[in-house]
Homo-oligomer: A and B are copies of this chain.
Amino acid sequence: MIVIMKHDASEQNVNDIMARLTELGLRGHRSQGEERTIIGVVGIKPGFPELRDKLEMMSGVEDVIPVTKPYKLSNRDFHPFSSTVKVGGVTIGGNEVVVMAGPCAVETEKQLIDTALFVHSAGASILRGGAFKPSTSPYSFRGLGKEGLIFLARAREETGMPVVTEVLSPEDVDLVAEYADILQVGARNMQNFPLLDAVGKINKPVMLKRGLSATVQEWLLAADYILDQGNSQLILCERGIRTFETATRNTMDISSIPLIHKLSHLPVIADPSHGSGKWYLVTPLALASVAAGADGVMIEVHPDPDNALKDGPQSLTFENFALLMKKMDPVINIMGRKLAHQAANK
């Protein structure tokens, strides 16, 4: 941490900072510039999370700048090799690119199983489907709840595909973990800290979506919450951020994919369905995500998007999903990787 003094800070101000640092068991390296003094702080342990605020308040201080990144367990600096997460026969984060597909919301057993069979046959290796649905309006469909979980389990039996589904509340973690293979923490809950703690305590893979207005740093700090509770089976998912642009529902931040790979060892999946909110943008953004290095994509598919209970406009028909898979496969190969499905079926 570096303390930058004001250009008119007094000698006393500087001495006060040095004394405070000593008091806290730290050391200060003083650097006298022509315009101002700078103090490098040495000896900080993780036990001083509020140090910055403390120093920033002292007289004569212009600014306090952290030198180390605040996230630790998700930081590639301390964990140089990429992590992988195994679920069913699929490995996420290695050489394979995984496709998660299925309806936004589980509506009926038939809708789910039809979709599951189709996406599996087209190359998906993980089934997605929401049983507990976050909904901006209290008057909208909020999911089938436990019944939806049961349908997901049946679809898994039918297809062999592991299942990813969202959990909304710490109270539901055990229930969802009973049925799901991957528990999803949604964008609106990225900073629901009791939920992060709860999924950090289970022994199942978790997929943490980026918050609508979360910086990459905040996202990795949220990842640290889960890792810090002992659960290292963690996958990140970019799903678009909120910007001023209204032509798309969100702005898919594809740059976060290579950025996460640089900053963190965790695998990262792309969700172009939520990332754009427009079915006609899903395929180009899925291809772009894979070209940018994504470890997988998550795609909403519905047998009849016109009649979907949730997010029809961003769902692909079976036909369009098959087309996407056909276009994506050669891009995966060009990137030197393989579609996970083939490996999963070996």
Contact = CB atoms under 8 A, between A and B. Distances in A.
A216 B72 CA distance: 32
A39 to B, nearest CB: 9
A interface residue count range (under 10 / 10 to 19 / 20 to 34 / 35 or more): 35 or more
A185 to B, nearest CB: 12
A68 B35 contact: yes
B244 A138 contact: no
A2 B38 contact: yes
Interface in A117-135: 134-135
Contact of A291 (B63, B255, B258, B290): B290
A288 B292 contact: yes
Contact of A53 (B2, B4, B313): B313
B67 A36 contact: yes
A171 to B, nearest CB: 6
A43 interface: yes
Nearest to A71: B137
A138 B50 CA distance: 12
Given A281-B258, A288-B291, A310 B50 contact: yes
Contacts of A225: 138
Contacts of A218: 136
Contact of A312 (B54, B194, B216): B54
Interface stretch (A25-33, A82-90, A174-182): A25-33
A246 B311 CA distance: 21
A36 B44 CA distance: 12
A168 interface: yes
A102 interface: no
Interface stretch (A108-116, A150-158, A300-308): A300-308
Interface string A187-214: 0110111111000000000000000110
Contact of A255 (B38, B137, B192, B276): B276
A72 B139 contact: yes
Contact of A54 (B54, B287, B307, B334): B307
Nearest to A218: B136
Contact of A57 (B46, B309, B313): B313
B306 A54 contact: yes
A345 B247 CA distance: 39
B244 A285 contact: no
Interface of A: 2, 4, 7, 29, 31-36, 38, 40-43, 46, 49-50, 53-54, 56-58, 62-63, 65, 67-68, 70-72, 77, 134-142, 168-172, 188-189, 191-196, 212-213, 215-218, 221, 224-225, 228, 241-248, 251-255, 257-259, 262, 275-276, 278, 280-281, 284-285, 287-293, 305-313, 330-331, 334
15 contacts: A31-B42, A36-B67, A50-B141, A50-B308, A53-B313, A56-B313, A71-B137, A135-B193, A136-B191, A138-B228, A216-B245, A251-B255, A259-B281, A262-B280, A284-B292
